[in-house]
Structure 1
């Protein structure tokens, strides 16, 4: 939601952050104690770099690491196009190395964000601002630092802990369990100083895209649900407690229409958003229309830009969208295509390939054409292979200069909170009552299903819960996290005519520490298997 939160990033013109090729990269600022901002509006501007850095990589390289390594998304080459040095097929086959561009780039992005948060904490502590502004400002920065740390812990596992600025001594690698404890303690120390979502639209607009109590609760719920993966000790009852802390705030509710959550004009009016990353159509924007839509349909959606034909999903993943009446199925493009009706549906008028009377047909299977690796060819027919996404609905005002969408990207939302609670109970936690309702796994899953227009389930178990998460949270950046927790990250989904197969070594559940970082800091220890 571009117009409402653009003020958060204007400070990027004042403060410049380098790409962080070192953990102690310096950050220059014009602020000193004598001229430090003192009003709430000043603070909002000052903290903008936390958010501009977050948006810069979340919806492209970070997302690719979480999704292209699973069955949920794939970028095949098309007669050599979109191969980009093999980086996408390496994610698909789990054959990445410590010099993979995303492995390096996201490490630098994450620790650049952490380093900047530490710098901002120092500035706020040294300022002459009121105690209340200092307290709330430090809480906001700390929660953002913990979000960055969660991303790094989830992807790389054993990472250094840095909570000072500048970094005087190279930090050593810490165990994943230690990083988990650091994040947990950090959040619990500041959570009461964070604001809550209210029933006041103006207040919610001001808080949108910034940490709230409920964002911290949702982040802790995600950590506790995965605690056995991260630390070796399960924390399912704690996950339920965090879910309840979110749901007790009745200012959150499931939106009536699933489609609304992902429209180009989404924003603080979405009732279930717990934390989202705002985007506009400038770089960095979100990639989903540019790379995941279908080029030959662009004009039918009112766009006059050159889009990609690259990214799709696998038919194995799409096959889970099998519930009658489920509106989430309409977030995919497959089979004969029709002119959209402007309301998220379709007319009976066929959509044709440009300059022809041949109806566009998107076929689900990606059929490789050896010998080029993971390559489907580049004919009209092969370009039409692969199920395309319509989830982040195309914006007809998309501009040629960037070809990027302005749809905000949710990180945490209420439906995920509910499904995580259902899973925690299925794994052994005790069901609890919230706002007068006993919330069993079946109740929670059926709340999500009913909103989507699907028939209620008669029962729910862990396999069906994983399928429900796939339907509800597709392309939201959680598939790798889910598959690892369910022990299914190594399940192969072979492509037709593919002589290669996935590397099933469980060491691939963690990405390697980049070779560039180990050269700079010999105290870092490489993850096993690399």
Structure 2
């Protein structure tokens, strides 16, 4: 066991698991929007408990429960349809033009990838609920760390100083959840730590209200967060707050009808100046040791994954096992069983075509395997149709493998520097002030150089918004960005860009505009009368 707790990553994972157990009370099996997680004063007799309870909030991003990968701490929800990273991946990627899931009897997947979802979809409920659980955990931590509570417990000065940072991190995690809810659903129940803990139905906040709240929270906590790259692996720092702000500002026209590209550039420049650098090898970002190899220089915020300690059906476990081809049985070099999950995942034609052309033949981001396969998928259940990819791996950069052959050690890179470079370029092209053509060229060419792409001397004249959209797909595919990108570019709904199985048509059909947001889950509406359904559902 000792060899698995030598790294900072695994020490932190131990804290994650411990904290979830410590906070497991009769109220932990909460239903969506229930903000009544109560901790005992006895827990805080040991001042280390404050960090452990904070880690429990982080743990909600990786774990679904404390009794193994099948367990769920959300009443009535399956672990596979309520894991934070997996549901985010499905809602942002499976619903768009990059990914197909073969086993459409898996709850919720058929409707998502064919764009025929309803308010009863379990994955849509899972993401909504998981985000609200983070809100509940963060609020509870903030209630337990007020000056009055700390005074009553005679908490030491040293611990109080640390708690300032802990509270900022809790507020950041709450803001992250509300950012996801704003982006995906357009509205959410607004509840903070000063609200009642019993008999309270939170009021509904729309996108404008959510945008204002998230922005104000992230700006308010900036001074109390740790500097970039100085916190423990897997914990948030100033750069994570800047990243959320940058993404909000980039999408502000979608969210609140206002252009905030100058603000986006300001946040991007802060991150770029924060000491990050590109991983030396693109593949390092998606390997089992991406917490120690060159990826640590680029990843701004990961979702922790450990094949022994945090076993769960999260995004990297799903993708590594799922990308193993039904024909190729190529799992052994990727660190899982030879057949993986038997061809569960493939790519849609439109994504594969983004790598057409000679300049992409040696591009290291191009891990597509075509073989004897057809590029078209006319029958989703036929796992032999459509190309596969090998982006994610449970192998390490030193030639070894992860600790388990099913549950991978590969952290999910939720935010990374390459995305910042691309956001900088887009915000500059969209008219934001404070950027420059020279810096845009430097950042785009750095990505091309790292990818071993011979077209790595691009000038501003070569870089258009359409180029950026395609380059984002090549650089960031299967990282839970695509739906958001297509909406920002006006290509998700409507019929000016169709992809295979969009709208349940094999060649793609137009989607109505109301599908830019997901429905509020039926179960969530039933639990809170203040919530209303989104138009069209």
What TM-score do you get using the length of structure 2 for normalisation?
A: 0.82
Q: Please state if 1:45 is matched with 2:52.
A: yes
- Deviation string 1:8-38 (CA, Å, 9 cap, x unpaired) is 31212211274532412432434458x3443
Paired position in structure 2 for 1:55: 62
> In the aligned structure 2, how far is the partner of 1:129 from the partner of 1:291?
49
Gap regions ≥5 residues in structure 1? 77-81, 199-203, 337-360, 369-373, 377-382
Contact 1:326 1:453 in 2 (8 A): no
Contact 1:7 1:48 in 2 (8 A): no
- Deviation string 1:313-350 (CA, Å, 9 cap, x unpaired) is 112112112462675555533223xxxxxxxxxxxxxx
> In the aligned structure 2, how far is the partner of 1:305 from the partner of 1:20?
39
Q: 1:499 to 1:447 in 2, by over 3 A?
A: closer
Contact 2:428 2:435 in 1 (8 A): no
Q: Please state if 1:465 is matched with 2:465.
A: no
Paired position in structure 1 for 2:283: 259
Correspondences of 1:91-490 after superposition (within 5 Å): 91-125=112-146, 126-127=149-150, 128-130=155-157, 131-164=160-193, 166=197, 168-198=199-229, 204=230, 206-249=231-274, 251-267=275-291, 269=293, 270-281=296-307, 282-285=311-314, 286=316, 287-295=318-326, 296-299=329-332, 301=334, 303-304=336-337, 307-308=340-341, 309-322=343-356, 324=359, 328-329=363-364, 331-336=366-371, 361-368=372-379, 374-376=380-382, 383-395=383-395, 397=401, 403-432=406-435, 439-454=438-453, 455-456=455-456, 457-458=458-459, 459-490=462-493
Contact 1:217 1:243 in 2 (8 A): yes
- Deviation string 1:268-312 (CA, Å, 9 cap, x unpaired) is 552111111110121244311122222512245564365211111
- Deviation string 1:371-401 (CA, Å, 9 cap, x unpaired) is xxx433xxxxxx322222311123374677x
Flag as ranges the 4+ runs of structure 1 deviating above 6 A: none
> In the aligned structure 1, how far is the partner of 2:180 from the partner of 2:325?
30
Paired position in structure 2 for 1:509: 516
Contact 1:27 1:116 in 2 (8 A): yes
Q: 1:333 to 1:461 in 2, by over 3 A?
A: closer
Q: 1:18 to 1:502 in 2, by over 3 A?
A: farther
> In the aligned structure 2, how far is the partner of 1:366 from the partner of 1:22?
37
Q: 1:59 to 1:294 in 2, by over 3 A?
A: farther
What TM-score do you get using the length of structure 1 for normalisation?
A: 0.83
Q: 1:167 to 1:149 in 2, by over 3 A?
A: farther
> In the aligned structure 2, how far is the partner of 1:423 from the partner of 1:154?
19
Q: Please state if 1:14 is matched with 2:45.
A: no
Paired position in structure 2 for 1:518: 525
Instruction: Find the residue that maps to 2:175 and give its secondary structure.
Output: helix
Instruction: Find the residue that maps to 2:500 and give its secondary structure.
Output: coil
> In the aligned structure 1, how far is the partner of 2:490 from the partner of 2:34?
36
| Superposed displacement of residue 429, structure 1 | 0.9
> In the aligned structure 1, how far is the partner of 2:507 from the partner of 2:471?
30
Q: 1:330 to 1:418 in 2, by over 3 A?
A: closer
Instruction: Find the residue that maps to 2:392 and give its secondary structure.
Output: coil
Q: Which of 79, 84, 93 is the aligned partner of 1:67?
A: 93
- Deviation string 1:76-121 (CA, Å, 9 cap, x unpaired) is 3xxxxx1226732311222100000111111111101101100011
After superposition, the CA RMSD in angstroms is: 2.5
Q: 1:19 to 1:67 in 2, by over 3 A?
A: farther
Q: 1:268 to 1:387 in 2, by over 3 A?
A: same
Instruction: Find the residue that maps to 1:276 and give its secondary structure.
Output: strand
